[in-house]
Amino acid sequence: MSDENHISGFDALRLALIGAIVMAVLLLVLRVLGPYRFAILAFLVVVTLAYGLWSWWQYLHSRRRAKAWANTTAARIQQQLDRSRAAWQAHQEAITQLLRSQQELRRSARAAVDDAEQLAAKTSDLIADYAQEIALREQKLRFYEQIIHQLESLAAQHEWLATLQAKETELAQFQEQRARDAEQEADLRRSLLRETERLQKLDKLSEQLESTNSLESAEKMRESLKELLV
C-alpha cells in the first residue's frame, strides 16, 4: 500500500513538473516568438493533449492487465505464497528476539539472583515460558515451510501446465496446417493427373489428325479438340 502511495505521489509530482514546464514554455512563446506564437502554441497544446491521452490509455491498459492477472490461478498462488513467506519471516524474527531475551535472562539470573530463591524460581519459570514460546514458533515455522514448499511446487506445476497448453495449441496449429497442406497436395496431384490425361489425349488426337484423309473425320477431331481444350 505504501508503494502505491509512493508511486501515486511520484506521478502527481511528475505531472505537476510537466505542467510547470509547459506553462513556462507557453509564456516564453507568447513573449518572444511574435507572429508565430499562435501556431507554436497550438502545436504545444496538441502535443500536450496527445501525451495526456497516451498516458491515460497506458494507465487503463496496465490496470486491465493487472486486474485480469489478479483473477488467475497463478496470481492466487503467488499471493498465498507471499503471505506464507511473510508469516515465516515474522516467526523467524520473533524466534531470534525470543532467543536473545532468553539468553539475557540466563545471564541476568546467574549474575543477580544466586542468593534469592524466589527470584531464581520466577526467572526459571520465565525462561521456561520463553522456551515454550520458542518451541511453538519453531513448530509454526515448520508448518509454513511445508506450505511454502507445496505452494512453490503448485506454482511450478501450474507454470508447466500453461507451457504444455501452449505447446498443445502450437502442435494443433501445425497439425491443422499439415492437413490443409495435404489437401492442397491432393488437389495438385489430381490437377496434374487431369493435365497428363489431357496431354495424352491431345497427342493421340494429333496423331489421328495427321493420319486421316477424311474431311468429316478432321471436323470431328477439331470438335474433340475444342472439348479437350475447354
Q: CA-CA distance, 66 to 60, in Å (whole number)?
A: 10
Query: Among candidates 194, 159, 132, which has minimal Cα distance to 78?
Result: 159
Q: CA-CA distance, 41 to 8, in Å (whole number)?
A: 29
Segment 167-186 mean pLDDT:
86
Segment 65-70 mean pLDDT:
76
DSSP structure class, residue 72: S
Q: What angle do CA 4, 84, 66 make, to 5 degrees?
A: 35
DSSP structure class, residue 153: H
The helix-helix angle for 73-112 and 37-70 (nearest 10°) equals 80
- Higher per-residue confidence, 215 vs 96: 96
Scored b (16 or more CB within 10 A) or e, 35-47 reads eeeeeeeeeeeee
Segment 95-124 mean pLDDT:
73
- Higher per-residue confidence, 203 vs 126: 126
| 10 CB-contact burial (10 Å; exposed 0-12 / middle 13-18 / buried 19+) | exposed
Residue 72 Rama label (left phi>0; alpha psi -120 to 50; beta): beta
pLDDT higher than threshold 80 for residue 74:
no
Please state, in angstroms and as integers, the Cα–Cα distance from residue 127 to each residue in 87, 107, 121, 137, 198, following that order: 25, 11, 10, 15, 105
pLDDT higher than threshold 50 for residue 55:
yes
Q: CA-CA distance, 83 to 71, in Å (whole number)?
A: 17
Residues 119-151 have pLDDT tens digits of: 677 777 888 888 898 899 889 888 888 888 888
Spatial CB neighbours of 22, under 8 Å, sequence gap ≥ 6: 44, 48
Q: CA-CA distance, 220 to 52, in Å (whole number)?
A: 81
Amino acid at 63: R
Spatial CB neighbours of 21, under 8 Å, sequence gap ≥ 6: none
Measure CA 4 to chain center.
21
pLDDT range class, residue 161, cuts 50, 70, 90: confident
pLDDT higher than threshold 70 for residue 45:
yes
Amino acid at 202: L
pLDDT higher than threshold 60 for residue 10:
no
Q: CA-CA distance, 148 to 87, in Å (whole number)?
A: 10
Segment 85-100 mean pLDDT:
88
Q: pTM higher than 0.85, yes or no?
A: no
Q: CA-CA distance, 147 to 81, in Å (whole number)?
A: 8
